[in-house]
Amino acid sequence: MTARKELRPALRYGWYGRGYCVSKRKFYTEWAYVLGVVTLALGTAMMEKANFGLSMVVAPAYLVYLKLSQVWGFVTFGMAEYTLQACLLVVLMLILRRFRVAYLFSFVTAVIYGFTLDGCMALVALVGESGIAWRIGYYAAGLLVCSTGVALFFRTYIAPAVYELFVKKLAEKLNRNVSRIKIVYDCTSCLVAIALSFIFFGWGHFEGVKLGTVVCALVNGWLIGWFGRWMDKHFNFIDALPLRRWFE
C-alpha cells in the first residue's frame, strides 16, 4: 500500500533527482496567437467601457480616434490602432536598421486586431450596466485580460501586434529583460497620450488618460511577467504547424 501511494505522485509529476516537477500540458503556439488577439481586444473594450482610462499602449490611438471621428464619422478605434501601429513599425525598422518581410506580418496582426477590437467594442456596448461598481469591475477585468493577451503574444512565433513586436525586438537589441523594457515603453506611451490629450482637447483636459491609465502603466509590466511565468510553469508551448520559419 505504501509503495502505491508513493508511486502516484511520481506518475503524476515525474521525478527528477531529489525533487519533482509538475508535468506540463501542451499548448499550441497558434492557439496562443488567436487567444492573444481576442483577449487583448476584449480587455481593451472592457477598459474603454469602464471609462477610468485606457491602457497607455492604446491610449494614443484612442485619442486619435476620438479626434478624427469628430470630423470623419467612419473612423473607428480599430482603424486608428492599425494606422498608428504602421507608423510604429517604420520607427522600429529605423532603430534596428534592417527590414524583414516577417515584420509586415505584424501589420497584418494589427489589422486583424483592429477589426476584432471594433467587434468587441460593439459587444461590450450592449451591456447596459454602468454604475461605479460595474465600472470598477470592467476596469479590473479588462486590465487582467489585456495582460494575459500580451503574455500569450510573447509565446507565439506568429507575428504579434506591432506594440509587442517593438518591445520584444528592442529588448533583444539592448539585451534586456522583456518585462522591464515593457514597463519603460508603457510609461513613455502614457506620456505621449497625455500630451495628445492636452493638444486635442485643451490644456489640463484628460480624455482617455485618467487614473486607470497611470495604474496600468505601473502594474501592467509586472502582471504580464507574472502571467508569463505562470504559463511557462503549467504549459509547454509547441508548434502545431511547420510555419515558424516564415516568421523568423
User: Which amino acid is residue 41, in one-letter code?
Assistant: A
Answer whether residue 65 is part of any domain.
yes
Taking 50 as the pLDDT cut, the residues of the chain under it are 1-21
The sign of the dihedral angle between the CA atoms of 239, 176, 172, 117 is positive
Q: What is the DSSP letter of 100?
A: -
Answer whether residue 57 is part of any domain.
yes
Answer whether residue 242 is part of any domain.
no
How is residue 220 written as a grid cell?
501592467
Rounded CA gap, 236 and 12, in Å?
A: 16
The residue range of the domain holding 153 is 29-233
Instruction: Answer whether 157's CB lies under 8 Å from 74's CB.
Output: no
Answer whether residue 246 is part of any domain.
no
Answer whether residue 24 is part of any domain.
no
Rounded CA gap, 86 and 203, in Å?
A: 28
The model's pLDDT over 141-185, given as tens digits with 9 standing for 90+, comes to 999 999 999 899 888 888 877 887 888 888 888 888 777 887 788
| Residue among 33, 34, 40 at smallest CA distance from 148 | 40
Answer whether residue 247 is part of any domain.
no
Answer whether residue 120 is part of any domain.
yes
Answer whether residue 244 is part of any domain.
no
Domain count along the chain: 1
| The model's pTM | 0.78
